[in-house]
Structure 1
Amino acid sequence: MERSKLHKRVKDLKVRQNLSQEELAVKAGLSLRTIQRIENGESVPRGDSLRKLSIALQVTPDDLIDWQIQEDKNVVKMLNLSQLGFLAFPILGIVIPLAIWILKKDKTKYVDSVGKSILNFQITWTISLFSFYLLFMLNAILHIGIISMSMFFIILAGLYLYNLYLIIRNTLFINRIVRIQYKPAIKFLN
């Protein structure tokens, strides 16, 4: 691994955990000067220093050494298309993208932000869908007559088509500079 990538990874992990160089040195059991050399790219931790540093940063030594953010639009496309699971069962539109997001958010560029956007939308969509089902069932049980059977199928088809439209649209826009948007969505993940 290039030194620049290792020192950037150490800095990034330190910042994410709100640690100063002094705090990281104490937590890792290393000298402040050693931490400074590592962060400045002047030295690469090996052996025991690497192990102590990885424990302090709560990652494995392999994660610390091999880490690099790659720009892979195919992963982002796969993340987008994974939402199609909603066609089989609505919850799959959340579970499959969630699994990909968790595995790839720190390793592939754009996966974190796109994944959060997708998950926020899919959770909102699923809540809307189940709320609509509940409303229709209450309507049928209480004989209120607010929603007819034809209206039910029209709204249901509209919800599914809108979700499908956004998935296809955003998958096509991945290769362009156009920003991927999933709206409306409640921000469950920031």
Structure 2
Amino acid sequence: MSIIKNIREKSGYTQFKLAKITGLSLRTIQRLESTNKEPKGHTLTVLSDVFDIEPSKLQDQFKNIEKTKTSETTSIRFINLSVLSCLGIPFGNLILPLILWRINRKSKFVDEIGRRIINFQIIWSAILCLLLCIAPFINKFFFSGTPLILVVLFSAMAINIMIVCATAIKLQRNNFDFLNLPIRFI
């Protein structure tokens, strides 16, 4: 929830009344509440006076929110990168991300994004297992000279690494719209 909106509602003001009392535009109040960005300068001073809060205490509330968001994003990055443990540990792409997700899932944000990453890995692992089971039979009839099972394994690993890298790039850009699959296992 927006810090300004929370304080405004506790103080019993509507957006319109707060704008009138502070001399700020209604649009400014709406923007502060919708973006949850820290007010600066005159806006900070006026809001602090109306809410009877020290400007530094109001700023501290925004800094705490920013620290939490940074911590959550770091947790999501670790969950995503932990998928690469499948390169050395069988089903490491499920085990380590699940452990990290369970530790950090107190946050709704980490819980949701972590679920998406793990759900994708469950699907990826199931498809890989199916392909690895089918590969020897296909190999026997169509590709007798080529070890198809290794081609399938290395191709699937390469695809998973590319997906982890693409997800890491989106996380770096603070774009959290990825791996939204319709199938949910957790």
Q: Structure 2 length normalisation: TM-score?
A: 0.54
Q: Which residue is equivalent to 2:95?
A: 95
Structure 1 unaligned segments of length 5 or more: list them. 5-68
RMSD: 2.8
Q: Which residue is equivalent to 1:114?
A: 113
**Aligned partner letter, 1:110:** F
Provide the C-alpha distance between the structure 2 equivalents of 1:185 and 1:87, rounded to a whole number of angstroms.
Answer: 27
Shift of 1:180: 4.3
* Residues 81 and 164, structure 2, Cα contact 8 Å, conserved in 1: yes
1:37-48 to 2 correspondence within 5 Å? none
Q: Which residue is equivalent to 1:61?
A: none
* Residues 82 and 93, structure 1, Cα contact 8 Å, conserved in 2: yes
- Larger helix fraction of residues: 2
Aligned residue pairs, count: 119
Shift of 1:159: 1.1
Q: Which of the two has higher C-alpha Rg?
A: 2
Indicate the structure whose relative CO is greater, using CA pairs within 8 Å and at least 6 residues apart. Answer: 1
Structure 2 unaligned segments of length 5 or more: list them. 1-5, 7-66
Provide the C-alpha distance between the structure 2 equivalents of 1:180 and 1:161, rounded to a whole number of angstroms.
Answer: 22
Q: What is the identity percentage for the equivalent residue pairs of Structure 1 and Structure 2? A: 21
Alignment of 1:149 onto 2:146: yes
Shift of 1:170: 1.1
* Residues 90 and 126, structure 1, Cα contact 8 Å, conserved in 2: no
Provide the C-alpha distance between the structure 1 equivalents of 2:133 and 2:93, rounded to a whole number of angstroms.
Answer: 19
Label 1:96 to 1:165 Cα distance change in 2 as closer, same or farther (>3 A).
Answer: same
Provide the C-alpha distance between the structure 2 equivalents of 1:74 and 1:157, rounded to a whole number of angstroms.
Answer: 29
Query: Which of 151, 161, 164 does residue 164 from structure 1 map onto?
Result: 161
* Residues 80 and 167, structure 2, Cα contact 8 Å, conserved in 1: yes
Q: Structure 1 length normalisation: TM-score?
A: 0.53
